[in-house]
Structures are given as structure tokens and as C-alpha cells.
A and B are shown apart, each in its own frame.
Chain A
């Protein structure tokens, strides 16, 4: 153990709403209230991906927003981690069968922590972000240690929904 402070001491979070019903977003913003007080973990909610360490995504990804999500992800300086917040961001949720829906955000960007739930409880979200902060430090120490695209932690209260297995594999539209 080194004596230098870890990156996990100050995860700055940028929140991106992909295609969410806003349920997860309301629960996420509840984290900032005095009741949950995420600032005690050093978590700051920033509006700018260039200042962020953790990307929190709510909602499923579709053809229109895949490019935007990738763009936001690319603007975060390394090391960075992604948290899929809610079942829609994890697998596509109830929107998975939609003709325009690609599925979970893992189809576009590598995800480190899954926090399922509809909507996820604020406690589970907090837990997910704190776990993501630990992965952030692991990534700084050894960027190769954490495989991109491989979920490291799944904060799951139950099995993945049955519909998740039936998500048709669709091509992600290339940015033009």
C-alpha cells in the first residue's frame, strides 16, 4: 500500500441520461440531498465530462444517442470508469424489444459497474459509485489489469431479466 492518496478518494461524477424514463435520474439526484450526502465520499456531481472520473449512464442506448454517448465517454480523461445505472442502462430493460433500441450501454462503451433496478435504490447507486471509485484506482495502477468491456462488479439484487437474453444483436451505426 502506498501512502499517497488514492484516486478513489475523489470520484467526480458526470451523469448522462441516454433514453431514460427519468426515474433513475430522480433517484440519482436524490443522492445529492442531505439525506444521502454523497459528498462525504468525495463524490462531486460535475456537468463536464472533462472534469469527471466516473460516467453514470441511465437509460438504454438507441441508434440516435449511441454516438453522443461515445462522444461523452471519449471526452473523459483516463483513468475513467462507467457505471450503468438502472436496468435499462444495464440490459435495455423494458425498452429492450423496441425497434429503435440497441440494448444496454455496454454495446457502445465498456461498462465497469452494473447497478440494476427499476429504478435503482439510491443506496445501491451510492454503493455502485463507491465500487467504481475503487476500480478507478485499480485502473490507474495497472491500466491493463481491468479488461475493457468486462464487468468487474455487478451490484445485482436479482437475476438479469429474461428479456435480456433475447435482445437481438444489432449493428451500432457508425458516426458519419
Chain B
């Protein structure tokens, strides 16, 4: 059996992950279309889009921009590997954050004001959601006694039982990372006219495709992370992740985009309060 070797399995997972992300993205677009009474694109439309972008003529403003596009993808794949291998959660967070940071730096190294505004908003979003993720790691440590992302698999009780409020806070972070309304202020899947696509404005052709592929990895990472909350039984974890994903589509369609500072305030009051309450409960129970 070819998948019996751990390295083979890892390579297979790394190959499948972007397709899984693209499929989820396509289902998202289809669901959104159906919710609006439209027929919508085929489910594999994100694949068509990415393959098309790969065949376009590259337009590059400067070399650094290209380096950051590659770094964004490379760090995202590395974050995926760390997650799948069950490595240190803090290291995973660091690599995950640096992937986003590469995108921000790529958006900052051009002269377009829209690209820069998008980058600044992305930084603000990072400031808004990073504390939640760090508290989540602390929560995992308190629940399982280890920062290792493999620890939920061997724990006696599902992570969700110990971290119910942190799970809710994580769902908000997920909405931000998936660029869902009301949090899609840096760049968005819809309403391309606003900020003229923001962060990825100056990327064209194959380099935009790299960012798209990195986003597919990001979707796969978030999906897998939700599964960690019920890792003792991955079937339940899968259902949980699917439900969370459906919730994201629902939120996306139900809300309008809000302002940057609103997102910041919401994260540092509502979401942070949820996370902190959960941590305090873990200490004093």
C-alpha cells in the first residue's frame, strides 16, 4: 500500500489539501448563489480560475513582490505540514502569521494606494485575531497539558468540551481568515470595486494564482483545525468542520461589510472576552 509509508501519506495530503480548499471554495460560491436565487458557477470553478491565472502572462512590478508571493505560499504549506504532523502549536501560529505577513509585505512593496490600504487593514485584522489564536493555544495546553497539535488526538475528552467558548471565538477568527462579511475589509471575494481588491491588487496572472493556491491551503488548514476540536472521533470532527463552514457561508450572506475599527473593537471585546472567560474557567474549575 503506497499510503502506508508516513512520508507518502504526508505528500498525498499536501497534494490533496489545495484541491479540498478549492472544492470548499466552490461549494461556498454555489451555496451563496443558491441563497441569492441564482444558479451559480460550477463547483470546480475555483480550479478553472486558478488554472486560467497560471496561463496568463505575468506582469511584475518589482522582484520583491514575486518573492513575497512565493513566501506566502511556502509558509502556508509549511503551516499545513506543521498542523498535519501535530507539531508545536506556537510554532504553527508563528509560521501561519508569517505567511499572512508575507502577503502584507507584498502588498506594501508597490506604490498603489489601494494595495497599501488593503495591507494596513490586513495588519489591523492580524492585531485583532492573533490574541485569540494565542489564547486558543494556551487553552489547548491547559486542556491537554501540551502545546503539540497532535495532543487532541490522544486526549481522553474532545477539545470542544474543554474549550467551548474558545471554539466560538475561533469561529470568528475563521470568518476573518476566510475573508467573510462582515470581516472582509482587506480583500474580498465579492464587491471587487471596493478598494479595487485591496491586498492582491498589484498581483497579476500566475502570481495571483500562487496567492489563490495559498488561500486554498488556508481553507484546508482552518477546516482541519476545526476537526481538531473533536479529534478523538474524526467523523464527528468532520461533521463539526462542515457545520462550521456552512455557518461561515450563512454569516457571509447575512451580514454587510463593516468598518475596520468595528472589527478591531469587536475582536478585542466580544471575542477576546469569550476566550479569556474560557481560559479562566480552565484555571479555576
Q: Do A and B bind each other?
A: yes
- Contact surface of A with B, Cβ cutoff 8 Å: 4-5, 7, 9-10, 12, 34, 37, 39-42, 44-48, 50-51, 53, 75, 77-79, 140
State which residues 43-100 of B face A: CB under 8 Å.
45, 47-49, 51-52, 55-59
B201 lies within 8 A of A48 (CB): yes
With both beta carbons as reference points, the residue of chain A lying nearest to B191 in the complex is identified as A47
Q: Are A48 and B59 in contact (CB under 8 A)?
A: no
Cβ–Cβ < 8 Å partners of B41 in chain A: 39-42
B interface residues, Cβ below 8 angstroms from A:
29, 33, 36-42, 45, 47-49, 51-52, 55-59, 192-194, 196-197, 201-205, 208
Closest beta carbon of chain A to B45's beta carbon, Å: 6
The contact of B49 among A42, A77, A79, by CB within 8 Å, is A42
A34 touches B37 (CB 8 A): yes
Q: Are B47 and A39 in contact (CB under 8 A)?
A: no
| Complex contacts, B205 vs chain A, CB 8 Å | 77
Nearest CB of chain B from residue A15's CB, rounded to whole Å: 10
- Contact in complex: B52, A39 (CB < 8 Å): no
Partner of A46, one of B52, B55, B192: B192
Q: How far is the CA of A110 from the CA of B273 in the complex (A)?
A: 58
Which residues on the B side are within 8 Å of A79 (C-beta)? 56-57
Docked pose: A37 CA to B37 CA in angstroms: 9
Given the interface contacts A37-B39, A77-B205, does A47 sit within 8 Å of B49 by beta carbon? no
A10 touches B56 (CB 8 A): no
Residues in chain A near residue B58, CB distance under 8 A = 77
CB distance from B230 to the nearest CB of A (A): 34
Q: State whether B48 touches A10 (Cβ < 8 A).
A: yes
Give CA–CA (A34, B33) in the complex, Å: 8
Neighbouring A residues of B45 by C-beta, 8 Å: 9-10, 42
Interface centre among A4, A50, A78, A79 (most CB of B within 10 A): A50
A10 to B17, CA, bound (A): 22
Contact B56 A39 (CB under 8 A): no
Contacts of B51 in A (CB 8 A): 4-5
Measured between beta carbons, the chain B residues less than 8 angstroms from A4 are 51
Whether the Cβ atoms of A48 and B57 lie closer than 8 Å is no
Residue ID in chain A nearest B32 by CB atoms: A39
Roughly how many angstroms separate A12 CA and B33 CA in the complex, as a whole number?
A: 17
Nearest chain B CB to A47 CB, angstrom units = 4
